[in-house]
């Protein structure tokens, strides 16, 4: 639901009775042979074939005469040409047009692009989401990606963040995360950037973080270079994308306030409500599990991306090196999207919403394979950890529940296309089938279950059953164990932290479909973890990382594993599982371990649900009641 929350509004009522408040007038649009003319009072513009946008107005005043796209790759200029225009979202408040085209002639283009233009009735703003995809068979060495705005007349002066004086010309350059200049003078590189003139302003989300970037304003032209790479082009491999979010204010509002809202928009969503609705499956806030809020504040409170070990830069923000260091990157190791969203739902801390949003957008661009890759059947798949983000899809990282949540929370249609595309990749390639390790099954199975959760399409139901049957065939059902070697070629046994990866979609699938095979497999795994991975002299002392005695016992993965044991009690009513789970929970609470939110964190909301059900919550240190 889209609506306007204006300053001074301290309550919103949703009522299904007599209409006492008329909504704003719906946007009008008209399609002809050359494109679409849209009027979303006060904003209007024309989106036409060929050049992207013309006659961008605020009321009757033309603020921007036209917009042009141009890229430089392999020392050649490639003009952006629109081949199709269509309305993708039309409501009483928000209207969205999608323009698709190519950089360069369609037959021999350097890349494809999608430019999504969004307007809101009664608001004088235009948002542009500009995604460029290398859909060719060759690497794309992109030296510049320019979006030029031509104004109807020369402004009196341009202003910008970091400069106290207006000027006829303006050069705003972000070379690195810590290097910014305005007209050649160094300025604060962290200040929220903006460019303004008498009738408007421009703000670009994550301008600093996705360096290098540059804006030049001179006479009637504002030239925005989103990939200001100059002599060191940024290379995009086949199937990769990059998305930029540009906002244009078509009035003389305070540009600093406008830019701040673009960079840090309000989030009018109650995370605790989502814990209660089942959108995460069983979930509950963690305020009553003292170790969680205390360690969260200690480890993550007030930390920037840099302080959390993530990298900035056009292609890498906000990712981290994979284990062993660069040039390999983590990509979606290990379901970072769902882990970050989970912490926002459980804590309500806005910082986690922003972190999850950034990670989802990054992975949506560089990890999802957006087009065919020569010699490989990778289309739709999520690339695993590897050199410069472009390794092959890896089964354990085909986990898309976090991407599905991103779609629920933002409405971004690209996200839905992506997680359904991952499911299609799994269906088409049989990813995970016959896998030797449980996590090889877990990622693809979760992708299929997520697609069914969203669509209830019988296609995904049938594929899920096929993957579940294959997973059960890999188990030793006499012991209930999933036999992995995990560093030992002599003994095959449980790797509990991997078992927990498939337990979540198994539980989810059972609750959606009633498939008892999923429930019995989960209970069997829980039984074998407790019986085969525990030190019987010490209740709760589970070897959660491995059955291999080469590895030390660790409690770090307990929050991932515990919901599996609790779920076995839920499904069977057997107190054996409840007692084992409580003992393991007490072991973890007394330990010094705390797994990273960027690693295997996604089962924690499920754990909080069981702690609440069984009265195991407690107040944080120093809290009353």
**Model confidence band, residue 323 (pLDDT cutoffs 50, 70, 90):** confident
pLDDT (tens digit per residue) in 353-375: 999 999 999 999 999 999 999 99
Is residue 520 situated within a structural domain? no
pLDDT given for residue 19 in this prediction:
64
State which H helix or E strand residue 386 sits in.
strand 386-387
Residues 6+ apart with CB under 8 A from 297: none
Is residue 591 situated within a structural domain? no
Taking the C-alpha atoms of residue 607 and residue 566, their distance in angstroms, rounded to an integer, is 8
**Mean pLDDT to the nearest integer, 172-196:** 95
Is residue 521 situated within a structural domain? no
Pick from 331, 456, 486, 469: nearest CA to 399: 331
Taking the C-alpha atoms of residue 470 and residue 428, their distance in angstroms, rounded to an integer, is 16
**Mean pLDDT to the nearest integer, 544-557:** 88
- The β-bridge partners of 66 are 54, 150
Taking the C-alpha atoms of residue 506 and residue 443, their distance in angstroms, rounded to an integer, is 12
Residues 6+ apart with CB under 8 A from 118: 89, 94, 95, 96, 126, 127, 128, 129
Are 480 and 527 in contact by the 8 Å Cβ rule? The answer is yes
Tell me the pTM: 0.93
Is residue 394 situated within a structural domain? no
Taking the C-alpha atoms of residue 66 and residue 54, their distance in angstroms, rounded to an integer, is 4
Taking the C-alpha atoms of residue 275 and residue 284, their distance in angstroms, rounded to an integer, is 5
pLDDT (tens digit per residue) in 436-479: 889 999 999 999 999 999 999 999 999 999 999 999 999 998 88
CA atoms 310, 316, 321, 325: torsion sign: negative
- The residue behind tokens 């960079």 is 263
Is residue 45 situated within a structural domain? yes
Is residue 438 situated within a structural domain? no
Question: Read out DSSP for 448-475?
Answer: HHHHHHHH--HHHHHHHHHHHHHHHHHS
**pLDDT of 621 over the 50 cut:** no
Are 88 and 60 in contact by the 8 Å Cβ rule? The answer is no
Taking the C-alpha atoms of residue 576 and residue 235, their distance in angstroms, rounded to an integer, is 56
Taking the C-alpha atoms of residue 602 and residue 269, their distance in angstroms, rounded to an integer, is 20
**pLDDT of 619 over the 70 cut:** no
**Model confidence band, residue 133 (pLDDT cutoffs 50, 70, 90):** very high
Identify each DSSP E strand in 122-220 by its residue range. Answer: 123-133, 140-150, 159-160, 169-176, 179-182, 185-187, 195-197, 200-204, 213-218
Give the CA angle between residues 40, 45, 48 to the nearest 5°. 130
pLDDT given for residue 488 in this prediction:
67
State which H helix or E strand residue 35 sits in.
strand 35-40
Pick from 563, 564, 614, 598: nearest CA to 342: 598
pLDDT given for residue 625 in this prediction:
30
Percent of the chain scoring above 90 in pLDDT: 77
Give the pair of three-digit tokens for residue 582: 């409580």
Question: What is the residue-averaged pLDDT of the chain?
Answer: 92
Give the CA angle between residues 392, 397, 403 to the nearest 5°. 115
**Mean pLDDT to the nearest integer, 198-223:** 96
Are 210 and 203 in contact by the 8 Å Cβ rule? The answer is no
pLDDT given for residue 74 in this prediction:
87
Give the CA angle between residues 544, 550, 555 to the nearest 5°. 25
Radius of gyration of the chain from its Cα atoms, rounded to whole angstroms: 26
Give the pair of three-digit tokens for residue 215: 């804006």
**pLDDT of 535 over the 70 cut:** yes
Domain that holds residue 47: 28-257
pLDDT (tens digit per residue) in 467-524: 999 999 999 988 888 888 887 677 788 899 999 999 999 999 999 999 999 999 999 9
- The β-bridge partners of 481 are 476
Count of domains in the chain? Answer: 1
Is residue 7 situated within a structural domain? no
- The β-bridge partners of 96 are 89, 118
Are 144 and 64 in contact by the 8 Å Cβ rule? The answer is no
- The residue behind tokens 């240190």 is 621
**Model confidence band, residue 18 (pLDDT cutoffs 50, 70, 90):** low
Question: Read out DSSP for 218-261?
Answer: ETTEEEEETT--TTSPEEE-TT-EEEEEEEEE-S-S-HHHHHHH
Q: Residue 133 maps to which CATH number? A: 2.70.98.10
Taking the C-alpha atoms of residue 331 and residue 316, their distance in angstroms, rounded to an integer, is 9
In a 3-state reduction of DSSP, which class is residue 71? strand
pLDDT given for residue 390 in this prediction:
87
- CB-neighbour burial class of residue 454 (10 A; exposed 0-12, middle 13-18, buried 19+): middle
In a 3-state reduction of DSSP, which class is residue 102? strand
**Mean pLDDT to the nearest integer, 333-347:** 94
Q: How many residues does the chain have?
A: 625
In a 3-state reduction of DSSP, which class is residue 293? helix
**Mean pLDDT to the nearest integer, 594-600:** 94
In a 3-state reduction of DSSP, which class is residue 124? strand
Taking the C-alpha atoms of residue 364 and residue 374, their distance in angstroms, rounded to an integer, is 21
Are 542 and 561 in contact by the 8 Å Cβ rule? The answer is yes
**Model confidence band, residue 430 (pLDDT cutoffs 50, 70, 90):** very high
Dmax over Cα atoms in the chain, in whole Å? 82
287-291, 426-430, 444-448, range with the lowest pLDDT: 287-291
Q: In b/e form, how buried is each residue of 1-16, taking b as 16+ CB within 10 angstroms?
A: eeeeeeeeeeeeeeee
pLDDT given for residue 566 in this prediction:
98
- CB-neighbour burial class of residue 262 (10 A; exposed 0-12, middle 13-18, buried 19+): buried
Three-class DSSP labels, 296-362: HHHHHCCCCCCCCCCECCCCCCCECECCCCCCEECCCCCCHHHHHHHHHHHHCCHHHHHHHHHHHHH
Are 227 and 144 in contact by the 8 Å Cβ rule? The answer is yes
Is residue 432 situated within a structural domain? no
């Amino acid at each position: 639901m889209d609506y306007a929350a204006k300053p001074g509004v301290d309550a919103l009522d949703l009522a299904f009775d007599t209409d006492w408040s008329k909504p704003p007038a719906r946007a009008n649009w008209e399609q002809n042979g050359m494109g679409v003319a849209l009027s979303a009072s006060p904003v209007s513009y024309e989106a036409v074939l060929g050049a992207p946008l013309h006659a961008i107005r605020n009321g009757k005043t033309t603020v921007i005469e036209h917009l042009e796209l141009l890229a430089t790759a392999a020392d050649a200029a490639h003009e952006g040409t629109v081949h199709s225009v269509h309305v993708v979202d039309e409501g009483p408040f928000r209207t969205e047009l999608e323009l698709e085209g190519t950089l360069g002639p369609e037959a021999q283009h350097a890349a494809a692009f999608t430019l999504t233009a969004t307007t809101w009735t009664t608001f004088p703003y235009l948002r542009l989401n500009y995604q460029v995809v290398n859909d060719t068979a060759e690497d794309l060495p992109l030296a510049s990606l320019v979006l030029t705005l031509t104004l109807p007349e020369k402004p009196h002066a341009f202003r910008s963040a970091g400069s106290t004086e207006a000027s006829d010309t303006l050069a705003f350059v972000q070379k690195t995360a810590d290097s910014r200049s305005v007209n050649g003078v160094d300025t604060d590189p962290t200040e929220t950037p903006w460019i303004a003139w008498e009738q408007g302003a421009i703000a670009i989300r994550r301008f600093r973080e996705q360096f290098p970037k540059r804006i030049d304003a001179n006479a009637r032209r504002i030239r925005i270079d989103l990939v200001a790479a100059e002599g060191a082009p940024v290379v995009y491999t086949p199937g990769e994308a990059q998305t930029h979010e540009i906002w244009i204010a078509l009035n003389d509002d305070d540009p600093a306030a406008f830019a701040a809202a673009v960079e840090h928009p309000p989030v009018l969503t109650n995370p605790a409500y989502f814990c209660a609705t089942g959108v995460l499956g069983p979930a509950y806030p963690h305020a009553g599990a003292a170790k969680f809020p205390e360690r969260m504040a200690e480890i993550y409170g007030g930390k920037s991306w840099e302080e959390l070990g993530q990298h900035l830069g056009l292609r890498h923000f906000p990712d981290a090196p994979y284990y062993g260091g660069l040039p390999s990157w983590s990509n979606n190791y290990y379901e970072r999207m769902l882990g970050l969203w989970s912490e926002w739902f459980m804590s309500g801390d806005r910082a986690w919403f922003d972190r999850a949003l950034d990670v989802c957008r990054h992975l949506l661009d560089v990890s999802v394979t957006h087009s065919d890759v020569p010699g490989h059947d990778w289309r739709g798949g999520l690339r695993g950890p590897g050199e410069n983000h472009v390794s092959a899809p890896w089964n354990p990282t085909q986990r898309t529940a976090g991407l599905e949540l991103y779609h629920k929370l933002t409405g971004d249609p690209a996200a839905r296309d992506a997680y359904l595309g991952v499911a299609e990749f799994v269906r088409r390639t049989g990813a995970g089938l016959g896998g030797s390790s449980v996590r090889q099954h877990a990622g693809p199975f979760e992708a299929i279950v997520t697609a069914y959760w969203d669509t209830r399409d019988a296609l995904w139901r049938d594929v899920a059953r096929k993957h579940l049957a294959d997973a059960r065939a890999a188990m030793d059902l006499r012991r209930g164990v999933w036999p992995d070697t995990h560093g030992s070629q002599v003994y095959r046994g449980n790797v509990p932290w991997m078992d927990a990866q498939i337990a979540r979609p198994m539980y989810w699938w059972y609750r959606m479909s009633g498939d008892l095979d999923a429930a019995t497999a989960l209970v069997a795994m829980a039984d074998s973890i407790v019986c085969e991975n525990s030190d019987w002299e010490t209740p709760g002392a589970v070897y959660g990382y491995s059955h291999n005695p080469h590895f030390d016992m660790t409690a770090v993965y307990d929050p991932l594993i515990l919901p599996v044991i609790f779920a076995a009690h839920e499904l069977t009513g057997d107190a054996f599982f409840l007692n084992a789970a409580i003992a393991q929970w007490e072991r973890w609470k007394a330990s010094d371990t705390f797994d990273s939110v960027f690693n295997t964190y996604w089962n924690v909301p499920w754990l909080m649900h069981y702690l609440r059900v069984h009265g195991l919550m407690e107040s944080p240190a120093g809290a009353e009641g």
